[in-house]
Amino acid sequence: MAESRFLRARRAARSSTSDNTVTDDPLTVLLRRAGRGDQTAFAELYDSLSPLVHGVVLKVVRDPAQSEEVTQEVFVELWRLAARFDETRGSVTSWVATVAHRRAIDRVRSEQSSRDRVARQVSNIVRDYDDVSDEVESRFERVRVRRALERLSGVQREAVELAYFGGHTYREVAVLLEVAEGTVKTRIRDGMIRLRDELGGAA
């Protein structure tokens, strides 16, 4: 599905690079240009990264209309912060996923505390369809991640997923699972170390 537009845009950006910065990572080049106010470069970044951002936001926030708002907030935030991206502190993908997840979490936690839900208009969700090779590529990636998650122990996976996708703090996870906070902290840490060993990091 759509995440492979991400791969496609990566390839496209790689071939259309005219920037003479030291890095040749296409997303970094685009982000540098965006940081200097280049809206066209930012649009290309949007095309590459919006499935990643929206996917993680949707997984945490659940509500489609709210997720759309959060995805929009994330991209405005990325635009504002573009010049402050520091490639010594991780890849563009990693940074973007971090910003997206943090925003999604902030939304669910503030929603939880305020409780005043406003009726929201649910907009039409139009999906993009991708060509077959991208589909295969992304399916492979999904399987790889699912297998890595499966290789965690049951309790580790539960703790990591409740935290990352459920949006709960580890203290809340401890209450949910009726175990000690220290136990959850350990499961999360061991689980993440295992995942890191299985998956490595984003390019």
Partner 1 sequence: MSDIDIHHLAAAYALDALDVRERAAFEAHYPSCEVCRADVLDFRSTLAVVAEAEAMAPPADLRRRVLEEIAQTRQLSPHLPASVTDLAERRRRHRRTIATVMVAAVAAGLFLAGTLVVDGGDSPAYATELAKVFDHADARLVTLDGDGGGRVRVAWSGGAERAVLLADDLPEAPDGMAYELWLIDDSGPVPMNVLDGADDGEIRDAIVMDGGDGRVPTAWGITLEPATGSASPTGDILYVSTV
Q: Considering only residues 66 through 85, tell me which ones interact with partner 1, judged by CB under 8 A.
A: 67-68, 71-72, 75-76, 79-84
107 contacts partner 1 (rule: CB under 8 A): no
Q: Which of 15, 117, 127, 154 binds partner 1 (CB under 8 A)?
A: 127
Contact in structure between 84 and 63 (CB atoms under 8 Å): no
Binding residue count for partner 1, defined by CB under 8 A: 81
For residue 109, how far is the Cα from the chain centroid? 18
Stretch that binds partner 1, among 14-22, 23-31, 113-121, 161-169 (CB under 8 A): 161-169
Q: Considering only residues 14 through 43, tell me which ones interact with partner 1, judged by CB under 8 A.
A: 35, 37, 39, 42-43
Contact in structure between 134 and 10 (CB atoms under 8 Å): no
Stretch that binds partner 1, among 11-19, 21-29, 89-97, 110-118 (CB under 8 A): 89-97
Stretch that binds partner 1, among 13-21, 22-30, 88-96, 110-118 (CB under 8 A): 88-96
Specify the residue, 3 or 158, whose C-beta has the smaller distance to partner 1. 3
134 contacts partner 1 (rule: CB under 8 A): no
**Nearest C-alpha neighbor of 52 from the set 97, 119, 103, 116:** 97
173 contacts partner 1 (rule: CB under 8 A): yes
Measured over the CA atoms of residue 101, residue 92, residue 17 and residue 199, the dihedral's sign is: negative
Tokens of 26: 């296409």
The Cα 7–Cα 141 span in angstroms is: 11
Q: Is residue 9 packed enough to be buried (19+ CB in 10 Å), middle (13-18) or exposed (0-12)?
A: buried
Stretch that binds partner 1, among 9-17, 18-26, 91-99, 112-120 (CB under 8 A): 91-99
Q: Is residue 86 packed enough to be buried (19+ CB in 10 Å), middle (13-18) or exposed (0-12)?
A: exposed
176 contacts partner 1 (rule: CB under 8 A): no
